[in-house]
């Protein structure tokens, strides 16, 4: 970050701070996500926003090797007590928090003290991969579905107690929590977030909200902001919101499905081509690259040992490495869209969950997809119905240990992430495998449901 950029950021932040102060905003939450998928924060008074925009806010690089329980490991490039980074807020994403009066929020990019980008900054990784697509004349539109399970706030260690009894997808559940859901919608609207839909999901106390798609970095930012907004609204209602992969083992867990479309010169490449279901060859190659890399991508998209309690067949979790049109059991679901709706066609990666760092997910999916497009890959035959009943479809890894072997063998992801970030992710995954080794499914769910 050069001197001119620092001065521009300081000037813009000073104007923002004056407006925020006039609105009674006293604190700015500076937010990022670590490799364990935990949302971390440093905060500054609004009066210090200009200083933070020019000089950054100090934060240790050790967060790159934190585990979900706040213990830490080390990696070849990162670890130990030494060193410091600077957090720089993205003022374009600065948002007044509707459910936390007096506060605003901004995601951060992380830099070294001397001004170079931090090699393990996940947000800048997502931006680099987006720029790779842009250099090819491609634009990606992405969006995350956010699923969560709401429970009554209770004693630590107590089992979950649900505030509603309505059935899966039932209007009764909306009626039971209509005031809560109203406040969720109200807070998101106050933050200028366009909600596409909100509804009850399958599990007890489970809901889903989808917001409008954005560029890959923006989609990850929105995923983070949606989650923190829901969390704040829940607390004001005396409720806890869990974004863990599972709250209770054996049930349907929380997903964080990623929707994506690929555009070129204003044209949606998902349709009007001569490939499967109207895909263009470029888009087919992109999806084929993602499908090929899914066993390794799970380390980023299903990153917790608890993720594999969710990733089970016949639960709409996408447990098989296959694709199909409108197939909710396939790991990769293609959505042709309605005739005449040029923007409706997209693909959905169903095997990811909210324990994931969304910046790692968007960046890695782009890297895998571009490799497939560059190689001219084609998709295998689509799968209809439940692949568990076919008996011939490859199962995705059934444990984090298995997925990690694929990740560590992926030259594609190592190159895209760069060694410091790649090795930090691998170290965190090995640390959490050891941390939760031998736990029963019930104990594993209990240990993680309050961390996300």
Q: What is the pLDDT of residues 406-418, one digit of tens each?
A: 999 999 999 999 9
**pLDDT confidence of residue 157:** 61
Say how far apart CA 423 and CA 406 lie, in whole Å: 14
The predicted model scores a pTM of 0.96
Average pLDDT of the chain to the nearest whole number: 95
> 391 falls in which pLDDT band (50, 70, 90)?
confident
Domain boundaries defined on the chain: 3-118, 128-448
Which of 17, 14, 34, 15 minimizes the C-alpha distance to 360? 34
**pLDDT confidence of residue 227:** 97
The residue behind tokens 């030259």 is 411
pLDDT(155) > 80:
no
pLDDT(102) > 80:
yes
Angle ∠(139,141,147) on CA atoms, nearest 5:
160
Q: How many CB atoms sit inside 10 A of residue 233's CB?
A: 24
Say how far apart CA 362 and CA 364 lie, in whole Å: 6
pLDDT(158) > 70:
no
> 46 falls in which pLDDT band (50, 70, 90)?
very high
pLDDT(159) > 90:
no
**pLDDT confidence of residue 121:** 98
Q: Is pLDDT larger for residue 3 or for residue 131?
A: 131
Architecture in CATH for domain 128-448: 2-Layer Sandwich (3.30)
**pLDDT confidence of residue 156:** 60
- Determine whether domain 3-118 maps to CATH 3.90.1300.10: no
pLDDT(246) > 80:
yes
Average pLDDT of the segment spanning 316-323: 96
Which of 302, 355, 293, 354 minimizes the C-alpha distance to 321? 293
Say how far apart CA 247 and CA 249 lie, in whole Å: 7
Average pLDDT of the segment spanning 132-150: 97
Give the tokens for residue 276.
């499967």
Domain 3-118 shares a fold with domain 128-448? no
């Amino acid at each position: 970050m050069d001197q001119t950029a620092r001065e521009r950021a300081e000037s813009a932040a000073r104007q923002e701070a004056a407006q925020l102060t006039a609105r009674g905003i006293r604190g700015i939450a500076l937010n990022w996500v670590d490799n364990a998928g935990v949302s971390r924060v440093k905060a500054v008074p609004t009066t210090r926003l200009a200083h933070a925009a020019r000089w950054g806010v100090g934060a240790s690089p050790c967060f790159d090797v934190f585990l979900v329980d706040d213990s830490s490991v080390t990696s070849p490039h990162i670890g130990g007590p030494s060193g410091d980074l600077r957090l720089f807020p993205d003022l374009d994403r600065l948002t007044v928090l509707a459910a936390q009066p007096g506060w605003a929020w901004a995601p951060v990019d992380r830099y070294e003290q001397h001004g170079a980008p931090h090699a393990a900054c996940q947000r800048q990784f997502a931006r680099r991969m987006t720029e790779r697509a842009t250099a090819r004349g491609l634009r990606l539109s992405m969006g995350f579905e956010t699923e969560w399970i709401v429970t009554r706030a209770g004693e630590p260690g107590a089992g979950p107690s649900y505030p509603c009894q309505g059935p899966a997808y039932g209007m009764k559940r909306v009626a039971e929590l209509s005031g809560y859901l109203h406040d969720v919608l109200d807070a998101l609207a106050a933050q200028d977030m366009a909600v596409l839909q909100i509804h009850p999901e399958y599990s007890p106390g489970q809901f889903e909200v989808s917001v409008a798609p954005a560029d890959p970095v923006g989609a990850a930012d929105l995923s983070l902001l949606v989650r923190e907004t829901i969390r704040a609204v829940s607390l004001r209602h005396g409720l806890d919101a869990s974004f863990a992969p599972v709250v209770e083992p054996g049930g349907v867990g929380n997903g964080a499905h990623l929707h994506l479309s690929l555009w070129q010169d204003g044209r949606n490449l998902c349709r009007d081509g001569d490939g499967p279901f109207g895909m263009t060859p470029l888009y087919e190659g992109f999806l084929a690259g993602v499908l090929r890399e899914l066993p390794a991508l799970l380390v980023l998209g299903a990153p917790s040992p608890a993720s594999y309690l969710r990733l089970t067949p016949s639960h709409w979790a996408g447990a098989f490495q296959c694709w199909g049109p409108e197939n909710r059991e396939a790991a990769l679901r293609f959505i042709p869209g309605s005739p005449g709706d040029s923007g409706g066609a997209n693909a959905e990666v169903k095997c990811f969950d909210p324990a994931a760092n969304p910046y790692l997910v968007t960046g890695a999916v782009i890297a895998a997809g571009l490799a497939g497009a560059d190689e001219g890959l084609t998709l295998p035959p689509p799968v209809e119905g439940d692949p568990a009943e076919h008996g011939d479809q490859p199962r995705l890894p059934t444990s984090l240990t298995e997925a990690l072997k694929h990740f560590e063998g992926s030259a594609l992801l190592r190159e895209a992430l760069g060694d410091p970030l790649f090795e930090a992710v691998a170290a965190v995954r090995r640390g959490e495998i050891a941390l939760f080794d031998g736990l029963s499914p019930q104990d594993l769910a209990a240990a993680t449901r309050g961390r996300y």
